[in-house]
């Protein structure tokens, strides 16, 4: 099973690495890191990832995972990822996004009229691009699976494992990675965080 992880400059590392750690260790999976070129890609926090294929070299995969990150607006403007998705999505069994990666699916017309989720700060942006925005952490609609912000990529990938190989495999994978979150603070959503922190976070996203 070929799984294509999309890379682009200033993507968020956890959006990629979370799903990769869950999916990449499945024995049936061959992972591909696909980008516009084979030049190393630098994430928004400075991690460097080397692509294994270009969009021209890999035009199909069984599963596609599109991360989000600080560079999503620039990638939308360039349109290269969306152009590849228009080719690769129709033949994929599953197409997935994490965080602002959903905007790239929307640009490729994958989310037109579909329920989908994204980072809380980008819900209006995603709705403006034709999706029916949900606030759930993971949304499954047919062959399209979307995850909310950053850390939800792990939840999304475990959901995919359950859909592809069954709940028992997903539970076993969850146990292996000891995914049993107990965050030290109750501030992981705009509903639970103090209003001043929500305002500060919105300002950070507005400046990206």
Residues with catalytic roles? 99
Q: Of the candidates 199, 189, 155, which has an alpha carbon nearest to the alpha carbon of residue 173?
A: 155
- What is the chain's length? 208
Which phi and psi (to 5°) does residue 161 adopt? -60, -45
93-119 per-residue burial string, b: 16 or more CB within 10 A, e: under 16: ebbbbbbbbbbbbbbbebbeebebbbb
């Amino acid at each position: 099973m070929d799984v294509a992880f999309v890379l682009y400059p200033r993507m968020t590392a956890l959006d990629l690495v979370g799903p990769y750690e869950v999916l990449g260790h499945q024995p049936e999976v061959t992972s591909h890191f696909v980008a516009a070129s084979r030049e190393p890609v630098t994430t928004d926090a400075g991690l460097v990832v080397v692509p294994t294929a270009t969009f021209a070299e890999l035009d199909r995969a069984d599963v596609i995972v599109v991360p989000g990150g600080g560079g999503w607006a620039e990638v939308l403007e360039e349109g290269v990822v969306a152009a590849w998705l228009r080719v690769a999505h129709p033949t994929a069994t599953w197409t997935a996004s994490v965080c602002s990666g959903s905007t790239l699916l929307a640009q490729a017309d994958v989310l037109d009229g579909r329920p989908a989720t994204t980072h809380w700060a980008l819900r209006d942006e995603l709705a403006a691009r034709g999706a029916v925005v949900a606030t759930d952490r993971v949304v499954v609609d047919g062959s399209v699976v979307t995850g909310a912000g950053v850390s939800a990529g792990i939840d999304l990938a475990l959901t995919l494992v359950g859909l592809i190989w069954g709940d028992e495999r997903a539970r076993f994978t969850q146990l292996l990675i000891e995914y049993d979150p107990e965050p030290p603070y109750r501030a992981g959503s705009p509903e639970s965080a103090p209003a001043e922190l929500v305002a500060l976070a919105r300002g950070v996203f507005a400046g990206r």
